[in-house]
Amino acid sequence: MYDLLVDALADSAALLPFLLVIYCLVEFFECRFSKLLEEMLAKAPRAGVLVGAIFGCVPQCGFSVVASALYVRGLISTGTLLAVFLATSDEAIPVFLAQSGKGGLVMMLLLSKLVLGISGGYAVDLLFGGRRKPPKAKIIMALGEAGECGCCKHHLAGETSRWQLFSHPLIHTLKVFIFIFAVALGLNYLISLVGEANLGDVLLRHSIFQPVLAALVGLIPNCAASVAIAEAFLKGGLGYGSALAGLSCSAGLGALVLFKENQNPLDTLRVIGLLVAISTVAGMAVQLVYN
């Protein structure tokens, strides 16, 4: 057990400087462009799906939070919200980028999620209509409450000091480090029990139902979910189709904001149901091709 602990700690610690640099860049991007995203989504309804999917590709779930806040105010369509959710990768992209030689994988994943977000978003709007009506009782000012925080619940829009541009990424890096360490330790322990060659079988790697399992894990509104999916994929426990399904469902705090602020619980369940369905079908299709 001591060896497993040391291996997990060494592997996780090696990622710290890379993660910090990535999160500093993401923090700067979110703080500078979150307001632009709000304006573009609100003013360009037809291009909303495309714009949402592009912004959703940025690592972290800050833009999914903004999209949820705009949705509950009736400013964007269901398809646009789903485009952001489907394209959001939360912590997976930084975890992959911190590994050497994974640039091609990151590009393939981003392109897959971008295509899925755009096609899925426009398909949903075509089938279910455009923008939904905002609540009649009162206009929810969710953007002022929810849209100002990212994964670490810190301010995204407006003026941000240089210290904040470093301190928030540092805190987030430490949190993700803990998630990565915990997941790596768990996977190492599982491998020691079943053997690395059998890890895929234990996690249903060769089953068409693995994307369903991965999608349900991705729904967990926490950074740990996408970290677990990324680490399991890197260890060989998840196929690419399952990783795609899980990470397409992993919208981070965006889904949590939707549950909290949407006054129509049935509408929230409809959105989450569509998210799971699109992610699972796409994951199964890819899994069939790759297997």
DSSP conformation class of 149: B
The answer to whether the beta carbons of residues 4 and 189 sit under 8 Å apart is yes
pLDDT of res. 285: 92
199/205 Cα distance (integer angstroms): 8
pLDDT of res. 111: 93
- 95 is in which domain, residue-wise? 2-290
**Which residue type does 25 have?**
L
The answer to whether the beta carbons of residues 184 and 11 sit under 8 Å apart is yes
63/143 Cα distance (integer angstroms): 11
Total of domains in the chain: 1
Q: In this structure, what token pair is assigned to residue 269?
A: 């369940």
Q: In this structure, what token pair is assigned to residue 46?
A: 């037809």
pLDDT of res. 45: 65
The answer to whether the beta carbons of residues 188 and 9 sit under 8 Å apart is no
The answer to whether the beta carbons of residues 84 and 56 sit under 8 Å apart is yes
Q: Find where tokens 């987030």 sit.
A: 172
The answer to whether the beta carbons of residues 210 and 267 sit under 8 Å apart is no
The answer to whether the beta carbons of residues 281 and 212 sit under 8 Å apart is no
Q: For residue range 148-179, list pLDDT tens digits in order.
A: 444 554 444 445 556 666 677 788 678 777 87
pLDDT of res. 279: 95
Average pLDDT, the chain: 77
Q: Which residues contact 174 (CB under 8 A, 6 or more apart)?
A: none
DSSP conformation class of 207: S
pLDDT of res. 164: 61
Backbone phi, then psi, for 173, in 5-degree steps?
Answer: -60, -45
The answer to whether the beta carbons of residues 132 and 267 sit under 8 Å apart is yes
Please, what sign has the CA dihedral across residues 5, 6, 8, 12?
positive
pLDDT of res. 244: 93
Q: In this structure, what token pair is assigned to residue 169?
A: 């990424």
Q: In this structure, what token pair is assigned to residue 238?
A: 């998840």
290/22 Cα distance (integer angstroms): 30
pLDDT of res. 4: 64
The answer to whether the beta carbons of residues 95 and 231 sit under 8 Å apart is yes
Residue 256 neighbours by CB distance under 10 Å: 18
pLDDT of res. 282: 94
pLDDT of res. 217: 85
Q: Which residues contact 207 (CB under 8 A, 6 or more apart)?
A: none
Sites in the chain below the pLDDT cut of 70: 1-4, 8, 11-12, 14-15, 18-19, 22-23, 25-26, 28-34, 37-38, 41-45, 61, 130-166, 172, 187-188, 190-205, 291
